[in-house]
């Protein structure tokens, strides 16, 4: 993306920072952020929210960190185009982690929340 405004990378960076914030807030307040639930999902009174929080804290934190690094590298490519290969590798890792994270989130919702 050399020579262009990296809007996609800024969005990825913002999403990564938001996921880090959501993970920390989730751990501190012991509540599940709405971003982590399927659309229209409601948590039943029998749901194991503690299990969900414990299961999803580290994957959410890691996804946020990886997304932030990917976004930062994309923005840095404007000034340092020689890091293109590193950014490409991180982008592939981010994509794979996004798929794994989505799978883990759906699995956790089914296992702990009965959704």
d(CA 99, CA 90): 14
d(CA 22, CA 80): 31
pLDDT tens figures, 49-87: 888 899 999 999 999 999 999 999 888 888 888 888 888
| CA triple 23-15-99, angle to 5 deg | 80
Domain ranges of the chain: 7-34+45-113
Q: Which residues lie closer than 8 Å to 45 by C-beta, 6 or more apart?
A: none
Between residues 113 and 62, the one the model is more confident about: 62
Between residues 113 and 98, the one the model is more confident about: 98
- Work out the angle between the directed axes of helices 49-76 and 84-108 (0-180°, nearest 10): 160
């Amino acid at each position: 993306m050399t020579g262009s405004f990296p809007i996609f990378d800024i969005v990825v960076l913002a999403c990564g920072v938001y996921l880090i914030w959501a993970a920390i807030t989730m751990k501190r307040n012991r509540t599940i952020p709405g971003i982590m639930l399927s659309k229209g999902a409601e948590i039943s009174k029998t749901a194991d929210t503690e299990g969900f929080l414990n299961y999803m804290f580290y994957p959410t934190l890691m996804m946020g960190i990886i997304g932030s690094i990917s976004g930062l590298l994309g923005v840095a490519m404007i000034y340092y185009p020689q890091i293109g290969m590193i950014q490409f590798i991180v982008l592939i890792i981010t994509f794979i982690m996004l798929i794994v994270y989505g799978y883990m989130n759906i699995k956790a919702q089914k296992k702990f929340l009965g959704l």
